[in-house]
Each structure stands twice: as C-alpha cells, then as structure tokens.
Structure 1
C-alpha cells in the first residue's frame, strides 16, 4: 500500500473509533439547542434623560465632628458616647436629616454618664470600611418608635469625619467585607424587608447605598437590632471588642 493510502486508512480508523465512542458510557452528550441570547431592550427611547435629581436624600453628606482630637488617627482612642455627644451639642434642636435626633434621645445621650443603663448609644464596632488600612468607628443609637440610627466615622487629619448617617426601623446590621448591610422592616409590604449595602465611595468621600433590594422573608415577631456574622457571603464576623 502506498504511503498516502496508509495515511487515509489510519485517519478513517481514528474517525470510526471516535464516532463509535460517542454513544458510550461517560461520553459527551448533546444538551439540545441553545436558546438565543436576548439583550436588554430600551423602552421609550425618545424619552429625554433627567438632568437634575428630583430630591436630595443626603446620602453623601459628610460632617466633621467638632471639638474632638484623635491621637494617631486611631478611632479606638475615642469614646463612642463622647463622639455622639459632641454632635448633639454642635447641632441642638435638629430633628431631621443626617444630624437629626429625637429630643428624648438627645436628653438620654446627655445623661449617659449619670444614667448609663438608659444610654441609647450601643456598643461600638470597628472595621476598615474605606480600605485605608485603619478601622472606622461604627455607632448605633437606639431611638423611639423602634428606630435605630447608624453612623460611621473616619479618623483623618487628627479628627473625626462622619461618613455615614441614617435612621430606620432596623432588623439587623451586618458586616460583609468592607460593606455595611442593613436589613430594614417593610411597613407597607408584610413578609418582606429591605436590604441595603452601604459601601465606601472614594470620589464622594463617604459611604453610599450601593445596592438596594426588597427580599421576601418569614415574619419574625420581636426582632431585635443586632450586628452579627458570619454573613451570607461567608465573610467572618467582626471582632467584638469593647471600646
């Protein structure tokens, strides 16, 4: 047999072996037709884009805490109650916005030294949320009507900058990596809750609500706000260190 004939015969044998093995045990099988990919479709393309936001919710508002000096930009060197007190003293009578405080809450904060059992400032937590290699201070404040104020402070330039402040009816607060995730009760949709992930934004120099979702959950009576871990992402829980 000529060399070319040998080559053709070998190729034919190999093809027969491969084709014959396709139906064997453990061989690849077709999963059927692949559905065609469908891209996003823009509705009302003639609608002009909005140029101005309808309302400012103050998500990126930051504030320097007056009258506090931080040694070595270490947030653990300050007392969480002293931080909140300094803000209340600087803005008395403010009941709305990022500095908003109920009058009874402000009075209880002022009396934390003499009546610690009734102090609404909860134990602080520490976590590097900005990625600068240093911990930030996370403070929770109990308020009337089952509301909780959550504030985050960044130590910089020898002082404190508040980089997050929000108040809501909190189910729980969690830390996942460098995100702070708030679970909030939904008053208008029974059996559901809002979950918002707050993340550091370098451009705004503040924590922003970067992900927001409505999630169906089982109703739980008497839920107590808490800061817990591990989170669903598997990130270990923060070290619970007292101030």
Structure 2
C-alpha cells in the first residue's frame, strides 16, 4: 500500500507543471501575444548574365576636379586665417592672372569678368559693393580637417550658371585654390566636410546631386559621390528643380562613384 501511494503522488507532481503551461500556450494568439509574420520570402542573390562574355576594359577614372593652384597677387595669409581674405580682391586677382579665359577652371564669360573688375573691394573706404557684383557672400567651413576654415566663394554667371570655388591657406601663408567648378546650379549646400551641388539632370523631373570632398592624396576637392534625385510633382513645362520647395524632393540614390 505504501508503494502505491508513493507512485500516485509522484504522478501528480510531474503532471502539475504541464497543466500550468496550458494557459500560456493558449494565450499566444491573444492581443499582445506572438503573431505569425507569414512565410519568409526566399533570398535571391545577384545573377551574372552572360558570364562567358569578355567585358570591356575600363581605363583609370579621371579625378574630375581641378588641380590645386596657388593664387598669385594676394598678400600672405597670417596664421592660415582665410577670414582676412577679401573675396572680391581674390577673384579679381585670378582674373588678372588668367585674362581672357573663357573655359576651364578659370573660365569666365567676358560680361561677368567686366562686372567683377568693376566691383568695389570690401577694404576700400567710402566704397560699397554694388548689387550687381557677381561675387556672392563668402562662406567658411573646415573642409580639409586641419582645424582651419576654408573660404568658399560663389560667382554668378549668366543663365543660372555658377562658379563654386574653395580656397585654403598653407602654413607658409600662400592661398591655394582646391576646388573650382562651373555648373547650372539649383542650390549649393554644406554637409559636414562636403560641398554639395544640386544641378538639373539630363532626365526630365530629376536632379543630380554631387558631393565634393577633400582628397588628402591629391590635395584638392574631388567629386566623390553622385546621386540622381527625383523631383515629385514636377509640372509640365518646368525643368528639374524649378518651382519646388526644399522639402519636396524625394531622393532615389543612384551611386555613380563609391
């Protein structure tokens, strides 16, 4: 009899934990419980089409940026402080060093060059810079990571074109131009150490965004990333980027340069 009682009690003890799990399992389908997400789709990797075809050879890429160039005719920059540099006098000095140049990094339309020559320098007493001066307000940002600001200059060209130039000063006080590009510009932005240009794309309803970054090996700013950005709701008859607010662009990144 004692052996029988022992067996019954042992059976009860092993059954109770199983019964306690029943409410937990029954509650899995309740609100707040675990819910199935459905069937997981099968992952598919990229497929190389025509693997036996011999592809074209790709030559080394052109850096695409302007080589660094020291600006002549500008006084030495003390302590690499580009804030002391007059942007109008700077662009005028470049015009004098490269007269009658209409293409390339120093290229400038004759009409714009004449207007810049007529601009008053900021340091001239009694003179005020005319509103028609193509040299825009300068901006400053440390783009090279050396703890010193670089000077960012914009020059308005006809037909919404714009020359964007960046200058840095070396420890010897020489002013060095490390970026010069001319584009039909929608907008120019600064993000971290990048100068970002938005320009109309060749495809209707899209913009091309190019980020220029400092390259320590070539000691210049290079276009390092490009994206094609769709402009939603672009009305008929308007080019890319026209009539759009700053928050109306929907990015669809297409990396061109990694």
1:120, distance to aligned residue in structure 2 (A): 0.9
2:167 to 153, 156, 161: 153
SS of equivalent to 1:118: coil
The superposition leaves residues 102-134 of structure 1 with CA deviations (integer Å, 9 ceiling, x where unpaired) of: 222222222212873332110101112222222
Does residue 32 of the first structure (1) align with residue 38 of the second (2)? Answer: yes
Q: Which residue of 1 aligns with 2:204?
A: 190
1:94 to 79, 101, 114: 101
Q: Which residue of 1 aligns with 2:187?
A: 172
Of residues 174-183 and 13-22 in structure 1, the stretch that sits farther from structure 2 once superposed is 13-22
Of residues 98-107 and 42-51 in structure 1, the stretch that sits farther from structure 2 once superposed is 42-51
1:192, distance to aligned residue in structure 2 (A): 2.4
Scaled by the length of structure 1, what TM-score is found?
A: 0.78
Q: Which residue of 2 aligns with 1:204?
A: 218
* Kept after mapping to 2: 8 A contact 1:60/1:204: no
Structure 2 distance, partners of 1:7, 1:139, is 84
1:147, distance to aligned residue in structure 2 (A): 0.7
Does residue 213 of the first structure (1) align with residue 227 of the second (2)? Answer: yes
Scaled by the length of structure 2, what TM-score is found?
A: 0.74
Q: Which residue of 2 aligns with 1:59?
A: 65
- Paired residues, what number? 226
For structure 1, the residue ranges without an aligned partner over 5 or more in a row are 233-243
* Kept after mapping to 1: 8 A contact 2:66/2:105: no
* Kept after mapping to 2: 8 A contact 1:61/1:98: no
SS of equivalent to 1:116: coil
Of residues 58-67 and 141-150 in structure 1, the stretch that sits farther from structure 2 once superposed is 58-67
Structure 2 distance, partners of 1:31, 1:41, is 28
For structure 2, the residue ranges without an aligned partner over 5 or more in a row are 1-5, 121-126, 251-258
Q: Cα RMSD (Å) of the superposition? A: 3.2
SS of equivalent to 1:76: helix
Structure 1 distance, partners of 2:147, 2:13, is 66
The superposition leaves residues 7-27 of structure 1 with CA deviations (integer Å, 9 ceiling, x where unpaired) of: 854653454344222112201
Does residue 105 of the first structure (1) align with residue 112 of the second (2)? Answer: yes
**Looking at CA atoms only, which structure, 1 or 2, has the larger radius of gyration?**
2
* Kept after mapping to 1: 8 A contact 2:64/2:223: no
